Amino acid sequence: MPSPREIRRRITSARNIKQITRAMQFVAASKLRRAQESTLSARPYAEKIEEVLADLATVLGGDEHPLLARREGGLRLIVLITTDRGLAGPFNTNMIRFAAREISESSGELTVITIGRKGRDAMRRAGVPLEAHFNGFGDRPTFADVIPLARLVTDDYLTGKVDRVDIMFTQFVSTLTQRPTLETLLPVEPSGDTEGIPGNQFIFEPGAAAVLEQLLPRYVATRLFQAVLETKASEESSRMVAMKNATENADELIEDLTLSYNKVRQANITREMIEISSGAQAR
């Protein structure tokens, strides 16, 4: 059985850890509010620009623009978005496991662009080809941060280096729910209905092809930026929950250690009293 001094030392350590995890919980909660507001405010724009591009894809055919052509059997590019930091519960583990399952089930050749150190390290350990790596974009990602990535992805597709581009990120659903997600970025997918045609839903001036040429760079950057925002909100949410659980576990550990300390202290007092009584009777 540990000595009272050792138990007191463990109680002190648990209290120090509790202070750290509680502080990290409050910091993550503050960052989560900001990240959640940015994510939710950016969604309407991302959804609308995707709708316009889908209608453009309905109007134009694969022969009219290379970004609409579906090419089978070529190189697949996956943009994997994780984080640079840990201490976020199962957040990165779930995303990496999701990516590993998708990559293992893929039959063709593929390459990966990683955002975040956790994803890069995991892909390197798995021996997956890496085309490029971008560090995480910090606590406040901006649209300008994703412009180099968007240009790289667009150039790879236009030059025929890759025939498909997918995004893997964690979608923010709620504070307690974050969902690993796979979405196709390129080629632009037509909308599921036939109403998105000029003169009905949208009128394209000077023409659908010209609009697509101008809108595409912003479309790619917007989709990537939205994925980064979703991942950031999910990261802070998962970190806040993880630190909250760690704080509660520290409380339980302190209670258990305090109970053990009291038992050991009570046993020592009882033993000393017995020794004193035995000594007095011996005299």
Residues present in the chain in total: 283
Do the strands 76-81 and 164-172 form a parallel or antiparallel pair, or are they unpaired?
parallel
Q: Measuring CA to CA, which residue among 47, 67, 57, 46 is closest to residue 191?
A: 57
Q: What's the N-to-C CA distance of the chain in angstroms? A: 32
pLDDT in tens, the chain (283 residues): 678 888 889 999 999 999 999 999 999 999 899 999 999 999 898 888 888 877 777 776 656 666 666 777 788 999 999 998 888 888 999 999 999 999 988 888 899 999 999 999 999 998 999 999 998 788 888 899 999 999 999 888 888 888 889 999 999 998 888 999 999 888 877 655 545 444 456 677 777 777 777 788 888 899 999 999 999 999 999 999 999 999 999 999 999 989 888 888 888 778 777 777 776 666 5
> Starting from the edge strand earliest in sequence, which strands make up the sheet with 130-134, in order?
130-134, 110-115, 76-81, 164-172, 178-186
Domains of the chain, start order? 21-242 (3.40.1380.10)
Residue 29 burial by Cβ neighbours in a 10 Å radius (0-12, 13-18, 19+): middle
- pTM given for the model: 0.83
